[in-house]
Every structure is written in C-alpha cells, then in structure tokens.
Amino acid sequence: MSNVYLEKMCEIVKARNPHEEEFLQAVTEVIESLEPVFARYPEFEEANILERIIEPERQIIFRVSWVDDQGKVRVNRGYRVQYNSAIGPYKGGIRFHPSVNLSIVKFLGFSQVFKNALTGLPLGGGKGGADFDPKGKSEMEIMRFCQSFMTELYRHLGPDTDVPAGDIGVGAREVGYLFGQYKRICNEFTGVLTGKGLSYGGSLVRKEATGFGLVYFVNEALKAINKSFDQATVVISGSGNVATYACQKAQELGAKVVAMSDSNGYIYDPNGINLDTIKEIKEVKRQRIKEYAQIHKDARYYEGSRGIWQVPCHIALPCATQNEIYEEDAKALIKNGCYCVGEGANMPTTPSAIKLLLEHGVLVAPGKAANAGGVATSGLEMTQNSQRLPWSAEEVDSRLRAIMCNIYKDCAAAIDEYGLGSLVEAANIVGFVKVARAMLEQGVI
Ligand code: NDP
Ligand code: 2IT
C-alpha cells in the first residue's frame, strides 16, 4: 500500500484493537483495496470517513445465564455489535459457536456493512452471537438459552432499529425461540428477526437464499471466463445451511458435487453427493457427516476437515467458516486445476491464499458479494413483514436472482471504472463508496 493516509489508518486500527486477529484481517483487506477510492474522492479523507466507518457505532456485551437439564446454572457471553446504520437499520446474523469472541463478531459486523450495501437494499450492518455450543444440548436447553439471550438483547432491537437473523449454529429453530421471547417481552408482533418459520412471517426461499445466491453470483462470474457449473466438478466445505443449498443449486445447474464436510471431517462420493441423504443427516437427525459413508457404500469419510481442499475440483465453494482455505490449500486447488473459488462463508480464504489464487488466474468470488443473497432475502422478508403480505417462492427467487446479478454487474463495472485486478477489491470498493457517501451527506455521525 503506497497511500500514506491508508497506511496510517492501518496503524491506528492495529493500535486501537490489539489482539483482535480476525477483525484486523477483515479491516486491513478492505483498507488495502481503497487506494483508488481515496485518489478519486479526497472529500472522504477530509471528513475522516474511514476512521469513522472502522469504529462500530455501538458494542453490547452481556451475560447470558441459563439452567441446563441437570438444574445447573450455566453462564455464556452474548454480543451484539451494531456496526453502521448510515443506510438502514442494523442487520446481520447471530452466531452460536464456542469460538465466538469480540474479534469475530466485529469482523463479521464490519464485513456485513459493505455486504448489505452491495445488495442495494436499505440495510445497515451488525452482527451478534454467543460463545454457546449448541452441540450436544437438548431441545429444552437450546430454548432456555435462546430465551435468556433475548431477555437482554430485546431492548436493543426493533424492526426499524436492529433486525438479527441466523448464522452458524442459529437456524430456524433458534430464530423461533428468539422471536417467541421477543414477542412475549414486548407484546408486539413485528418483523424483528428474519429467517423466521413460514407459519409466523418467514419468507419463502430465505432458507435456501445464501446457497442459491452464491451459485447465481458465481454463475454470472463464470460466464465472463466462458465457464459454467454444467459438467463442472465441485467441492463444498460445510454441510450446514449455506453448503446444503449451494449444493442443491449447483446440482440443478448440472454440476457434480463430490465432497462436503463438517468440522470433524469430509466425505468424498465419486457418484456425486446425494443431497437427500445430507438433508436427512444434518437437518432432520442433526448427526455428523460421517454417517453419509454408512449409507452410500461408494463414498468414503476422511477425518479432518481441511483435507477436502486436496480433492480435485473445478470450482471450490467454502461454506463453513472463516480462514478455512490457507495458502497450502490454495496451492493444492491450483495444482488440481481449480479455476474458481466462490466464498459462501464469511472470510473463508486467508489473505495469502487469495493472493496466490489471484496470481494463478483463479476467479475469486468474494464473500461480501457472493454470499449476500442471504441478507438480501432477509431484506425481502422485512419488506413482506412491513406490507403484511407474503410473496410466492417464484417472486422471492426471481428478486434474489436479480439482486445477485446486479451485485455482479456493479462489481464488474467497478473493475472497469477503477482499473482493478479482481472482484475482491471491487466488492470492497462498491460497498465502501455507498456507505461513505451516505455518511458524508448525514454530517458528523
Ligand atoms: P451452519 O451452522 O448451518 O453450518 C456451518 C457448517 O460449517 C457446519 O457444517 C459446521 O460443522 C461447519 N463449521 C462451523 N464452524 C467450523 C469450524 N470452526 N471449522 C470447520 N467447520 C466448521 O451455518 P451456516 O451455513 O449458516 O454458515 C456457514 C458460513 O456462511 C458462515 O461463515 C456464515 O457466517 C456464512 N453465512 C451464512 C449466511 C446465512 O444466511 N446463514 C449468510 C451469509 C454467510 P459442524 O456442524 O461440525 O460445526
Ligand atoms: O453473514 C450473513 O450475511 C448472515 N449470516 C445473514 C444475515 C441476515 O441478516 O440475514
């Protein structure tokens, strides 16, 4: 980076947020993309927009006490980082995973700000979570935890203030318990969460939206290099919400998905993944992916989730978590002829792995753009809730597809406009400029 101002910003953010590794990684990546923006818009530097955008508007950390099935009191830590409301109410998921800490919630919230701007919908950015591990917990323990979590969080939310949704470890079941508790405390039925069940205001296609949107976006990007999902061999990490519906849409477009994973290991099926089996194991029985190899005799299970990147593929879709593709994994992908990495997860590829992939001509579809279909459809759920009218699946899906195509178009246009080398920089720039302009027009906020 040669811009002195941007270098100074990197130093400031490091000094103010020491030890927040994931957060610093996410911020540094964005800052490093911004040189052409600051060259074009000196007013952003003058108004110190960057330093303001990096600082979350509000960070809430709270105790979550709950009672387990043995009658013992347990304590977890809850978070909500309300990052930026320049273009709409705070919007972003809630993650329940033992690894959750402030750095992770801040990196997710920061990324969410630009992702939400890319959707073209009026959505600010935020993120929340808890270091609660849903694995091995009973249904009632999950419910009591969600109720306790919401008993603190409700005071910070509202359909025009902050609208959470799911993320890792938070799906329709948890959103249901969170929504029920919010409604009970506030005596108010509003669209205060998205990803709700269809029986109480959820949107059709929200469950599928992140995975479908990822494939719609990657499909657009592939057209530009004369490739497509048809006949392509695809590897997808994870086997949760995003991975499952990315698999479904990739298969619909003619791809052969040969491997999927969870945090313990991965399965390889030379005949192509049977998605009904995955849904039965993961969504219905909540079991480990290992079970797949018991059902499909040609399939093999391998311990260790990172091994999945050694499986030869044309298209890799990391859909599990942050920093799951390291430089070594990128080397293996390149060696095996992979031509596209589409980020379904948030920040799944490390900076050095992205650099290597780009240097070798691999198309990288960055998470902020490629996985924006989930939050975009959450935005559509908010619209339906406000109108008090549900839309058909076809209506939601066609809007989702149009949004993903538009995000691609905007990013491709930025590549031309600023003379950029990749969609990674383009997504950062398009999202940043939109939020920065709104902040500039609203004065010192
Ligand atoms: P789920 O909880 O449904 O699934 C997560 C999957 O990733 C599981 O297979 C899980 O395995 C695996 N995983 C989680 N943590 C790790 C880890 N530390 N190491 C290896 N594997 C891990 O979550 P989602 O599918 O909703 O989210 C996946 C990713 O997509 C996340 O990065 C999320 O932020 C991002 N995302 C989600 C959106 C959504 O709408 N849900 C929207 C946009 C992005 P295991 O079961 O073993 O834990
Ligand atoms: O990372 C994400 O975009 C999400 N977890 C979805 C957020 C949302 O509000 O739907």
Q: Which residues are catalytic?
A: 127
With a 6 Å cutoff on the Cβ, whether 242 touches ligand 1 is: yes
CA 210 to CA 193: how far, in whole Å? 16
User: What is residue 64's three-state secondary structure?
Assistant: strand
User: Of 104, 263, 285, which is best to mutate to test ligand 1, by the most ligand atoms within 8 angstroms of its C-beta?
Assistant: 263
The strand pairing partners of 256, in sequence order, are 233
Ligand 1 site, residue 112, Cβ cutoff 6 A: no
H helices, E strands: number in the chain? 18, 12
Where helices occur in 58-138 by DSSP H, the ranges are 102-118
How far is it, in rounded angstroms, from Cα 401 to Cα 407? 10
Counting ligand 1 atoms within 8 A of each CB, the residue from 142, 167, 283, 285 with the most, and so the one to mutate, is 167
b/e per residue, 168-187, with b = 16+ CB within 10 A?
A: bbbbbbbbbbbbebbbeeee
Q: Decide whether any atom of ligand 2 lies within 6 Å of the 346 Cβ.
A: yes
pLDDT for 363 equals 98
240 lines ligand 2 (CB under 6 A): no
Q: Give the per-residue pLDDT at 340.
A: 98
Q: C-alpha angle 43/83/200, rounded to 5°?
A: 130
Q: Hey, what are 178's tokens?
A: 């969170």
Sign of CA dihedral 105, 111, 114, 116: negative
C-alpha–C-alpha distance, residues 207 and 175, integer Å: 12
Which numbered ligand comes closest to the C-alpha of 163?
2
pLDDT digits (tens, 9 = 90+) for 171-220: 999 999 999 999 999 999 999 999 999 999 999 999 999 999 999 999 99
pLDDT, position 113:
99
List Cβ neighbours of 219 (8 Å cut-off, separation of 6 or more).
Answer: 228, 229, 253
Closest Cα to atom 4 of ligand 2: 93
300: β partners: 268
Mutate to test the pocket of ligand 1, among 22, 168, 260, 323 (most ligand atoms within 8 A of CB): 168
- Indicate if ligand 2 lies below 6 Å from the C-beta of 322: no
Cβ–Cβ under 8 Å, residues 61 and 102:
yes
* pLDDT at position 144: 98
CA of 377 relative to ligand 2 center, distance in Å: 9
| Ligand 2 within 6 A of CB of 378 | yes
Q: Is the CB of 346 under 6 A from ligand 1?
A: yes
Provide the pLDDT for residue 148: 98
* pTM over 0.95, yes/no: yes
Instruction: Identify the pLDDT of residue 2.
Output: 66
Q: What is the dihedral of CA 109, 445, 52, 420, to 10 degrees?
A: 80
Q: Give helix 241-252 / helix 206-223 axis angle, nearest 10°.
A: 50
Q: How far is the CA of 36 from the centre of ligand 1 (A)?
A: 33
Distance 19 CA to ligand 2 centre (A): 25
What distance in angstroms lies between residue 153's CA and the mean position of ligand 1's atoms?
A: 23
Going by their DSSP bridges, the two strands 315-318 and 300-303 should be labelled as unpaired
Instruction: Report the nearest-CA residue for atom 3 of ligand 2.
Output: 375
Point out the ligand nearest to the CA of residue 118. 2
Under a CB-based contact definition with an 8 Å cutoff, are residues 217 and 407 in contact? yes
CA of 318 to the centre of ligand 1 (A): 10
Whose alpha carbon is nearest atom 10 of ligand 2? 375
Ligand 1 proximity of 411 Cβ (cutoff 6 Å): no
Q: Kindly provide the residue ranges of all beta strands, DSSP E only, lying in 313-399, ordered along the sequence.
A: 315-318, 340-342, 363-365
Distance 116 CA to ligand 2 centre (A): 9
Please list the ranges in the chain whose pLDDT falls under 70: 1-2
Return d(Cα 90, Cα 119) in angstroms, integer.
Answer: 14
CA of 105 to the centre of ligand 2 (A): 12
Output the pLDDT for position 1.
65
